[in-house]
Amino acid sequence: MRLAHVSDPHFGRIASLHVEEDLIEDIRAHGCDVIVITGDLTQRARRGEFEAARGFLNALPLPYIVVPGNHDMHAWWHRPDLRMLDPLRRYKRQLTRQLEPTIAIQGLAVLGLNTTYGFTVQGGRCTAQQVKRVQSFFSEQPPSTLKVLAVHHPLTALRVSENLDLARGGEQLFAAAADAGVTLVCAGHWHCAHVEVCIEAGSELVVSIAGTATSDRWREPQTEMNSWNLIETGERNLEVQIRKYDRHTRTFSVCRRVTHSFAEQ
């Protein structure tokens, strides 16, 4: 199984002239079974930015799954009423009304959850209903299925930085994912590509944090770095490649590779 994990393109703040088309070409070249897009498709949730995001999605091979990010909500300073009452209205009108999509194909099940909410600047939250959704959706999948959870805001502390924010209630959702047999958690938001294996209640989960795919909103220590994560699975192992963009050669290449072999059950 091969997955593309893309996050935080931030249309409206594109870093270089060809990065979008080169990203699409690189994803296509790897023949991914599913593309997972974990939010912040726009910079300020403007109509033109959503039009650019729609064009990007239309250019991707199917199937893909997409969840919103905090930048996809109406800005506080522009429409505070919508920010509080219907923060993702433009996202729903121009991209998709499905905020918590699923994909279930032979050998793979992906659940996307919406961690955004209007009463914050950039933080995320997870709800008790989402914990139940994780439990119910993944319990319906065959035992041999690769189970993947996709969110915008990271759920649990990782060895990246203590200053990066997590979704409120994320630890409870992460524990529920482990209990439901989730193998892979995909998130974004930090603009800092990272892969880490976490142990939760005896279960092993690989956390894939994708950097900003196409924008100039880089974050230390990954300045001037656009990237996406290529995920490949074997019978008892999973590998994540962080693929970094070089705007001079217009190519993506592996800058880090993490391979994890799962313990026998």
- Judge contact between 20 and 14, C-beta under 8 A: yes
Q: Which two tokens stand for residue 170?
A: 């994320």
- Judge contact between 208 and 185, C-beta under 8 A: yes
**How many Cα atoms are found within 13 Å in the side-chain-facing hemisphere of 210?**
33
> Which backbone phi and psi does 223 adopt, to 5 degrees?
-70, 145
Q: Which residues pair with 232 in a beta bridge?
A: 2, 239
- Give the pLDDT confidence score for residue 51 in this predicted structure: 98
Radius of gyration from C-alpha coordinates of the chain: 17
Q: What are the helix (H) ranges across 61-121?
A: 80-85, 89-94
Which residues have a Cβ under 8 Å from the Cβ of 112 and sit 6 or more positions away? 36, 65, 66, 67, 100, 101, 102, 150, 151
Tens of pLDDT, residue by residue, the chain (265 residues):
999 999 999 999 999 999 999 999 999 999 999 999 999 999 999 999 999 999 999 999 999 999 999 999 988 667 777 767 789 999 999 999 999 999 999 999 999 999 998 677 678 999 999 999 999 999 999 988 999 999 999 999 998 866 788 999 999 999 999 999 999 999 999 999 999 999 998 899 999 999 999 999 998 889 999 999 999 998 889 999 999 999 999 999 999 999 999 876 5
Cis ω for the linkage preceding 101 (within 30 of 0): no
Secondary element (H or E) of residue 233? strand 227-233
Distance CA 225, CA 64 (A): 24
- Judge contact between 54 and 20, C-beta under 8 A: no
Q: Which two tokens stand for residue 263?
A: 């313990």
- Judge contact between 155 and 185, C-beta under 8 A: yes
Q: What are the helix (H) ranges across the chain?
A: 19-29, 47-59, 80-85, 89-94, 128-139, 170-179
- Give the pLDDT confidence score for residue 262 in this predicted structure: 87
- Give the pLDDT confidence score for residue 236 in this predicted structure: 86
Length of the chain: 265
Which residues have a Cβ under 8 Å from the Cβ of 132 and sit 6 or more positions away? none
Residue 58: C-alpha distances to residues 77, 110, 205 (Å): 30, 20, 31
- Give the pLDDT confidence score for residue 34 in this predicted structure: 98
pTM of the model: 0.96
- Give the pLDDT confidence score for residue 121 in this predicted structure: 67
- Give the pLDDT confidence score for residue 221 in this predicted structure: 85
Q: Which residue from 235, 137, 150, 209 is spatially nearest to 180, judged by alpha carbons?
A: 137
